[in-house]
Amino acid sequence: MIGCRRSPCQVLRVIAAFVCLTATVVAKVPNPNYADALTKSILFFEGQRSGKLPPNQRATWRKDSALHDGADKGVDLVGGYYDAGDNIKFHFPMAFTTTMLAWSVEQFKNTMGSDLQHAMEAIRWSTDYFLKATNIPNVVFAQVGNAEADHNCWERPEDMDTPRTTFAVTAQAPGSEVSAEIAAALAAASVVFKPSDPAYSKLLVNRAIQVFEFADKYRGSYNDSIGPWVCPFYCNYNGYNDELLWAAAWLLKATRKPIYWNYVKQNIINFKSDIESGVSEFGWDAKHAGINVLISKFVLDNPSNANPFLPYADTFVCSVLPESPINTVRYTPGGLMYKAGICNMQNPTALSFLLLTYARYMKSRVIRCGNIDVTQKMLIRFARSQVNYILGRNPMNMSYMVGFGSKFPQRIHHRGASLPSIDQYPQKIGCKEGTPYFLSESPNPNLHIGAVVGGPDIKDYFSDSRLSSAQSEPATYVNAPLVGLLAYFKAHP
């Protein structure tokens, strides 16, 4: 994480400012309606669907799109999700989104109520697609669509006329990170579906095993195989060792087979320098912190297996919490976790999910961060502060979830939402014909309910403009961990 070490005095000043601001905001704003936010955070995924939409589609401004994906390679790749505000299917972040949706359900399904069925449908929309993308042995389809051409247009997914080129990784041109992340997604989803659909769960886990074996046997980065088409959008910057461990950890959870425990134990040592360099990282590109939190569930009751997983997980906690004297994360004056780059909101949602999950695993255990003892309650309180910021407890006094609260982003950087739906404008809108809509200062004609945007800058300022994609573009991997957080706080308001 980007940041700098602080002296104890600086830490105290940061904490005092954070507490003071939080107290001020709390006095003005009532508790967010977590249940409403949960419903909307799941609905968002329906607006991101690609392919033939189902009869129960609730985001009705969206219509069928990309119905011939995969045809250039003679395969069926219809379905899946568009990752953000464009019309490309990037499988690496899509797979991470799926893994996190599944982990959210696995952890918090008992508090989801009527939203559970929609969450399961959101996962299955993706896993059905990944079963197609991994149906040929030693071939994993990794992307559909020419990103450069797509980003040169502003058109509805229903009108796409840019090349829908299909890109794959193979034994000769490997892509261990994307393949292993898909294996993790399939394994995580198999855990979720096991009670209700054991046959489908078995199909998922068996495919996960095959894809993981492919990823591990034919090691290499998809940067080297299909880099010109995935970069600079979703290059892999952290190597693929973390994805291999991540997939093995999920296969361990799904199968309980010793082979995966042995793989994780051995390779956490083999990949030591790689893991230690990113012990505080977690997102679509880096799974380091997630590996240790996930494995901590297995080792907390067995001290002989605690090293190095618990020390790594504890280091992650100490590097994130603002009151920790060794934290390495920056915060806005309003208290939002901040990491420079595109779509910052992925950091507070993903890292807060890990902290909440680890808190539930650790129970009464205390973590020592320098001279501070960190308890379960502190981790939960911090995760809530990040969720509350997103939902409106912030200096802008606005929700960063579209459709939630009385003030939220109106001009999100999203092609489908910013262009009139086919219901309102049946004629085709060509590649450059959508540009005036992109440049317009008018609110989007379609409300993409549940979309969480990239968020404010380091000074808590948000520019509600389509032109500021870093701030105004939503992404599936922002919402996926937020689903779990909201489900927990719905039951613990």
**What is the full DSSP assignment across 260-313?**
HHHHHHHHHHHTHHHHHHTTT--SSS--HHHHHHHHHHHHTT-GGG-TTHHHHH
Taking residues 267-296, what's their average pLDDT? Answer: 90
pLDDT band of 2, cuts 50, 70, 90: very low
As a whole-number percent, the residues of the chain with pLDDT over 90 amount to 88
Tell me: the pLDDT tens digits for 407-436? 999 999 999 999 999 999 999 999 999 999
Taking residues 74-97, what's their average pLDDT? Answer: 98
User: What is the predicted pLDDT for the residue at 271?
Assistant: 85
Residue 154 pLDDT greater than 50, yes or no: yes
Residue 125 pLDDT greater than 50, yes or no: yes
C-alpha closest to that of 7 among 312, 279, 351, 371 = 371
pLDDT band of 14, cuts 50, 70, 90: very low
User: What is the predicted pLDDT for the residue at 303?
Assistant: 80
133 HSE (CA, 13 A, CB side)? 35
Distance CA 450, CA 455 (A): 14
- H-assigned helices in 138-221: 147-151, 176-193, 198-217
pLDDT band of 29, cuts 50, 70, 90: low
Q: What single-letter DSSP state applies at residue 109?
A: G
137 HSE (CA, 13 A, CB side)? 2
- In angstroms, what CA-CA distances link 393 with 10, 59, 385, 389, 405? 24, 27, 8, 4, 11
Look up residue 476 and give its two tokens: 């599936």
C-alpha closest to that of 85 among 450, 415, 427, 309 = 415
Residue 376 pLDDT greater than 50, yes or no: yes
From the CB of residue 102, how many other CB atoms can be counted at a distance below 10 Å? 30
| pLDDT-wise least confident of 268-277, 412-421, 457-466 | 268-277
Catalytic residues: 86, 413, 464, 473
Residue 13 pLDDT greater than 70, yes or no: no
Residue 11 pLDDT greater than 80, yes or no: no
User: What is the predicted pLDDT for the residue at 26?
Assistant: 38
User: What is the predicted pLDDT for the residue at 292?
Assistant: 95
Cα-Cα-Cα-Cα torsion 163, 164, 170, 174, nearest 10 degrees, comes to 70
Q: Are 219 and 176 in contact (CB under 8 A)?
A: yes
Cα-Cα-Cα-Cα torsion 299, 300, 306, 309, nearest 10 degrees, comes to 80
Look up residue 342 and give its two tokens: 């595109």
User: What is the predicted pLDDT for the residue at 276?
Assistant: 81
First to last CA, the chain: 30
Distance CA 18, CA 204 (A): 44
* Cα four-point dihedral sign 454, 455, 458, 462: positive
* Cα four-point dihedral sign 10, 12, 13, 18: positive
C-alpha closest to that of 180 among 262, 269, 242, 135 = 242
313 HSE (CA, 13 A, CB side)? 29
Maximum average pLDDT range among 28-37, 171-180, 357-366: 171-180
User: What is the predicted pLDDT for the residue at 10?
Assistant: 34
Distance CA 387, CA 336 (A): 9
> What b/e sequence results for 59-72 when a residue is b if at least 16 CB atoms lie within 10 Å of its CB, and e otherwise?
bebbbebbeebbee
Distance CA 166, CA 164 (A): 6
Q: Does domain 65-237 have CATH number 1.50.10.10?
A: yes
Sequence-ordered list of residues with C-beta below 8 angstroms from that of 412, at least 6 positions apart, any chain: 85, 402, 418, 444, 448, 451, 453, 466, 472, 473, 474
Type of residue numbered 59: A
Residue 176 pLDDT greater than 80, yes or no: yes
User: What is the predicted pLDDT for the residue at 280?
Assistant: 86
pTM, 2 dp: 0.93
pLDDT band of 373, cuts 50, 70, 90: very high
User: What is the predicted pLDDT for the residue at 340?
Assistant: 78
Residue 110 pLDDT greater than 70, yes or no: yes
